[in-house]
Structures are given as C-alpha cells and as structure tokens.
Amino acid sequence: MDRLLRYAETLDTAAREAKATAQVKPQDHAFTVAEAYQVQKLSVDRRLSRGEKRIGVKMGLTSRAKMQQVGVEEVAWGRLTDAMLVEEGSALSRKRFVHPRVEPEIAFLMKAPLAGDVTPAAAMAAVEAIAPAMEIIDSRYENFKFTLEDVIADNTSSSGLVIGSWGDPRIDFSNLGVILEIDGKVVEVGSSAAILGNPVRSLVAAARLVAEAGERIEAGDLVMAGGITAAPNLAPGQTVRSTVQNLGAVMFQVEA
C-alpha cells in the first residue's frame, strides 16, 4: 500500500479506537509538510466515506501559548466534520478520546466563500457571525508529542468543538478578555489578541492555506480561529466553561 494511505489509515483507526499510535516523522525522515496535508485529507476522506459531513476548517497553533505548549512554531489547519460537534451545555464521554485537552477559541460562521490572498476587510465581508467556542483536541500520538508534519497528518488534533451563541461580527473582537474555568476555578486567562494579534488574521491565513491545498472556505462553513491559551487536560466529571468578553460563554461537561 502507498505509504501515505497507510499513515492515513493508522491515524483514522487510532482516532476511532481512541488508542494512541507512534509518530510518523521520527520513522520516516523524508515525510514532508505537503505529504502530511495529503495524509490529513486521506484520513478525513475515510470519515466522509463513513457518512460524516464536512462543516468547515480549524486553524491551529495561532497563539504563542499554543506553540510553546506543544513545541511546534508554525500555523497549521485542519478539517472539521459534523461528528466532531458537541452540543453546547452537553456532557461528553472521556472514553471517546485518548488524552483530550480543551482550548478557548472564537469561531466564525461564513456567509460567502473565501480562498487565496484576501485582505482582513474582504475576509470580514464573508463572515455572517462570530461566537465564543471551545475546541477539544486529542492528539492520536503517544504522550501528545509530535512534530509539525505529524500534527498536520493527524488533522491538527481535531476532535470536538462546542459553539456558543452567534453574535454580530461587526463588533471589535480584536482584544476581548477570555476566561477558561474548570469546575468554577479559573485555569487560564487571555485575550482574543493572542490569536495572531487579531483573530481576523487567522481567517485570512485560513483562506490562504486552504487555497494552497486547492480548496476553499465555503458559505455556511465554520472556521475555528485557534486556541487563545495553553490547553488544559480534561478529566471525567469536569464542568468546563469559557467566557469571552462581549460574546458570552460556552460550556460542556465530561461525564463522570
């Protein structure tokens, strides 16, 4: 079998069975970023062939806090499917994941397609609404350890997303305070400015990166802008809430 197909199958199976697997890059030094994006597509195609629907894209490693946490210093993107959606306020099972973490984020809802080199103003003209959000990431690699190529192949650890109420995207969201609470205790604080200085830059970067892969952001898509703070681990029984100034709060629970 083609080696890229083999990696895609291994990563897809690891996600499905919630069992960690070995990194690719340390064993295949020739593995490139371009090949990693091919593996990501092949592995998400397996999900789509099982009936999952594409719902948008996510940006990852768009803040210093995230880059430092995982030791990868490049922005990357991944693909989102409907099976990753977690209903706001619901409880999810820890068993679905290998070693899940949570990130406070901001989500965009698109009303027009976007691709290629666009200005921030053009990107915003394609946005229908913005919402407070959280991403549940879960690396399929042992010990949550990976290189840039590995994390791209693993769909940038995409695993779940929770979206709050959609609001007017014309507000100034460049520097909004963000608080992440677990069981009522503040565990992380930050600002939306942590996302590349302004979350709109993440949307601009998404348009460019997706176009490099020959794709585009579609009307109706969600775009996750990327984690604002470092991502704490999730444990059974936790209640997790993220509050974004002027946008509102979003929460979920982990089943006991």
Q: Contact positions toward Mg ion, by CB under 5 A?
A: 103, 135, 227
Chosen residue from 151, 196, 200, 206 binding ligand OOG by CB under 6 A: 151
Phi, psi of 118 (to 5 degrees): -125, 155
CA dihedral 189, 193, 195, 200 (to 10 degrees): 140
Chosen residue from 41, 226, 242, 252 binding ligand OOG by CB under 6 A: 226
**Which residue stretches of the chain are H helix?**
3-17, 33-49, 64-70, 120-125, 148-153, 199-212
Let me know: does 169 contact 140? Beta carbons within 8 Å. Answer: no
Cα 173 to Cα 200: distance, rounded to the nearest angstrom: 9
Distance of closest approach, residue 229 Cβ to Mg ion, in angstroms: 11
Q: Does 159 bind ligand OOG (CB under 6 A)?
A: no
Beta strands 248-254; 91-92: pairing state: parallel
Chosen residue from 43, 139, 159, 198 binding ligand OOG by CB under 6 A: 139
CA distances (Å), origin 38, targets 72, 90, 105, 149, 247: 19, 33, 26, 11, 36
Chosen residue from 31, 84, 102, 103 binding ligand OOG by CB under 6 A: 103
Residue 66 contact among ligand OOG, Mg ion, none, beta carbon within 5 to 8 Å by kind: ligand OOG
The contact mask relative to ligand OOG for 42-61 (x = CB under 6 A, - = no) is ------------------xx
Residue 157 contact among Mg ion, ligand OOG, none, beta carbon within 5 to 8 Å by kind: ligand OOG
User: Tokens in use for 70?
Assistant: 């995982």
What is the torsional sign of CA 65, 70, 76, 78?
Answer: negative
- Judged by beta carbon, residue 119 or residue 252, the one nearer ligand OOG is 252
Chosen residue from 70, 102, 106, 123 binding ligand OOG by CB under 6 A: 70
Distance of closest approach, residue 250 Cβ to ligand OOG, in angstroms: 15
Residues that bind ligand OOG (CB under 6 A): 60-62, 66, 70, 103, 135, 137, 139, 151, 156-157, 226-227
